[in-house]
Structure 1
Amino acid sequence: MLLPSQPISSALSQRLDLRREAGLLRQLRTADNLVDFCSNDYLGLARSPALRAAIQQADADWATVRTGATGSRLLAGQTDLANEVEQELAQLYKTETALIFNSGYDANIGLLACLPQAGDTLLTDELIHASMIDGARLSYATRQRFRHNDLAHLETLLRSAAESAGQVFVAVESLYSMDGDLAPLRALTNLCEQYGAVLLVDEAHATGVYGPNGEGLVVALGLQERVFARVHTFGKALGVHGAAVVGSALLRDYLINFARPFIYSTALPPHSLLAIRCAHKQLRIQSASRQQLQDRLRLFRQLVTDQLPGSTWTDSLSPIQCLIVPGNEQARRVAQQAQGAGFDVRAILSPTVPVGQERLRICIHAFNTETEITRLVEILAGHL
């Protein structure tokens, strides 16, 4: 236990030393020389020459526009361009309105912190993203967690919450970032409607990957009229930056008035807005990339079945494939073997995941070649 009189430098050093001794010290490093099996760039748009050229041309066309937003959107940062891009996003995501936030983290914090109020109940899947957890912590609502994708447990909590006077909210991800599995969105929607609960869905990892034009899993399932709010993040499959909360005009007006990350953040600059517009234009013509992603995923899963028959994987049909390697040291060792062979594969260690559930989180991309995928599976088979 640190004493209040200790100098701050000593306190910080001690905390870092404890993390280092536990083998959990986080460090920043590049992996430019490794084959990417780590990033969320599922369609390869972040490295797309076509998208880069489109953004450069858009920037040139807007050459006379200021380079920075100069303030929040409630002050000097509001532009016609922001309104136009949001209208385009609303059309693509098949909803009434969209409101752009600076990141998916900002969007989730803003939505969950301001929507559920004191006296309300917020029910969250136990595996929601850290940004959703932090937003829930900032809310004055009563929060309860339900077991991951466990509809029976959720219904028990819904039945209990229905006895209170407040509104009930349910928050989930459509595609979970650590296990790579999908939420049972149809059943969740039915259950929320049965109990009068409001459903909030983070589509961060599903955006670009699912849906006729990459609109996400909610649109792919035709549920867009039944889900109150969705968060779409643009820094993953779209290869740019920023995010948007999509939903009704009423929701947009409410967020403009009460979502603190939106109110008090300097708005995205014109370059970022143009990049979001260009990325979504590219998304409409990426059906071949989405199909190639699915082809590469099927190849990976078949090779794993053939060459790693005794291995344990999370139940994922998504591009996020997780190999369970219990123990931090063992998971780190296998990841280092893959990295030594030229593949950027990262270990996810406890306490980020539960003890015994340490894993390699392997992301499959449309741009990964069959040779790269085959070689990666051979490396894993040789070191497990």
Structure 2
Amino acid sequence: MVQLSGSMMPIRESIERELLALRQKGRYRELPSVTQRSGNRIRIGGKLLLNLSSNDYLGLGDRREMLDRYLVTLREAGYAMTSSSSRLLTGNHPLYGELEQTLADLYGREAALVFNSGYHANTGILPALSTRHDLILCDRLNHASIIDGLMIAAAPYIRYRHGDYQHLEELLSDAAGRYRQLFIISESVFSMDGDLADLERLVALKKRYGAFLIIDEAHGVGVFGQKGLGLCEVAGMVEGIDMIVGTFGKAFASVGAYAVMDTLFREYLINTMRPLIFTTALPPAILGWSLAVVRQQAVMSDERNRLQALAARLRNALRERGLAVAGESQIVPVVAGGDRQAVLLAEKLAAAGILALPVRPPTVPENSARLRLSLRADLQWEDIESVPELLQGL
């Protein structure tokens, strides 16, 4: 029989102590009871609140008339609610091909590949492409799914200082000639700070050092660009980026993710990417909805312009009241610092009928807990004009 050392405790006691510590720090999390969504309002715990914690940036997920049209299509086409298999077996419904071709055509790229989620994409692409003979350079504030992908991959990695492209170039210069391939990976719109990557600079560095550049546009697609293709479209860098990752789960109001790339890399990922190979395919009913949304959002430039104007107005109003506000996008973070302070501010807004959930470590760095105000195109200024006054004195 194995004997426990004097310093070890049974798992139940260890977990209980860890949960207690999270409560004491103000970091304990619970799943909210969401009972109803109605436009830009949401009912939680019996209370109807203005929803400033959604990633449905275009409000497409709450467009009843669009959903009603799709339900007619769903009934007429008879799309199944399950695929019952992986794509490499019997789950590769023709809608996959139609959706991937539509995405490739929108971006003007050779190919696209659809995944079950952004997390699947980011934990699968780098481990599939890279080897122990490569080096991955990753922005320090990239999403947790990207960090998890780094930890799975065989390649060594370095996290360069956030948005510090001089630091990135130093690392590239030092690594030149020492690896089979250098990879650079960055978000375009950073999910917690709402600030923007310099895609022109990243593409220039990629070309100078022969790196492979991956840009995660999860919070950029649908929100930026004439066709909603994200910052890569705004910067005119669609062709200069080796692989662009997008998601259906945010502005595109569906489920899943995708990447656009050259045909060679699509073929390779199909044969080597474990989260693609070893998971059940998305249901045809979901693929059809994603296809409808992608086509609809491509003509919603007016909504995109209105959303960015609204975000700029809110940031300015918050800053005029002396609040620490970052970002250049539809994501408007108000940094509180301490975990408990962020929780108290969220409770204050909830009492005023506004849902803005606190974001705390480890999602963000220590001492940078915040309210992440996530705006939508179906909001009016009158909906949010009270927020700066409510937060004043932070």
Same fold (TM over 0.5): yes
Q: Is the 8 A contact 1:110 1:135 kept in 2?
A: yes
Structure 1, unaligned stretches of length 5 or more? none
Q: Give the C-alpha shift of residue 165 in structure 1.
A: 3.3
1:41-87 superposed Cα distances (whole Å, 9 cap, x missing partner): 11101111233123212211221x43311100001111222111111
Separation (CA, whole Å) in 1 of partners of 2:115 and 2:172: 30
26-35 vs 259-268, which moves further: 26-35
Residue aligned with 2:89, SS:
coil
Per-residue deviation, 1:220? 2.0
Q: Which residue, 41, 49, 69 being the options, matches 1:34? A: 49
In structure 2, do the counterparts of structure 1 residues 35 and 159 end up closer, same or farther at CA, with 3 Å as the change threshold? same
Alignment match, 1:337 = 348
Q: Which residue number corresponds to residue 27 of structure 2?
A: 24
Aligned to 1:233: 247
CA positional deviation for 1:3: 7.3
Give the 3-state SS of the residue equivalent to 2:87 in structure 1: coil
- Does 1:252 pair with 2:263? no
2:76 aligns with one of 47, 52, 61: 61
Name the counterpart of 1:212: 226
User: 2 CA distance for matches of 1:82 and 1:329?
Assistant: 45
Amino acid in the other structure paired with 2:373? I
Asked if residue 346 in structure 1 is aligned to residue 357 in structure 2, the reply is yes
In the alignment, is the contact (CA less than 8 A) between 1:120 and 1:141 conserved in 2? Answer: yes
Equivalenced residue count is 379
For 1:75, what is the secondary structure of its paired residue?
helix
Query: One-letter code of the match for 2:325?
Result: W
SS of residue in 2 equivalent to 1:321: strand
Find out whether 1:312 has 2:324 as its counterpart. yes
Deviation for aligned residue 1:7: 4.7
| Inter-CA distance 38–3: structure 2 relative to 1 (3 Å threshold) | farther
Q: CA deviation at 1:195?
A: 0.6
Cα deviation code 1:319-377 (max 9, x no counterpart):
11111112111121111101111101122223332233221111121112221111122
Deviation at 1:297, TM superposition (A): 1.7
User: Which of 351, 354, 375 lines up with 2:386 in the alignment?
Assistant: 375
1-side partners of 2:239 and 2:301: how far apart? 24
State the TM-score, normalized to the length of structure 1. 0.94
Percent identity of paired positions between Structure 1 and Structure 2: 38
The alpha-carbon deviation at position 105 of structure 1 amounts to 0.6
1:224 pairs, out of 199, 218, 238, with 238
Cα separation, partners in 2 of 1:165 and 1:66, compared to 1, 3 Å: same
1:154 corresponds to which of 168, 181, 196 = 168
Match in the other structure for 2:93: 79
Matched residue, 1:46:
61
CA distance in 1, matches of 2:94, 2:139: 38
> Which residue does the alignment assign to 1:109?
123
CA RMSD of aligned residues (A): 1.8
More moved, 339-348 vs 53-62: 53-62
Trace 1:145-294 onto structure 2 (pairs within 5 A).
145-294=159-308
3-state DSSP of counterpart to 2:362 = coil
How far residue 301 of structure 1 moved from its aligned partner, in angstroms, is 2.6
- Partner secondary structure for residue 149 of structure 1: coil
TM-score by length of 2: 0.92
| Structure-1 residue corresponding to 2:38 | none
Aligned residue type for 1:313: V
Residues 112, 260 of structure 2: 8 Å contact kept: yes
Shift of 1:183: 0.4
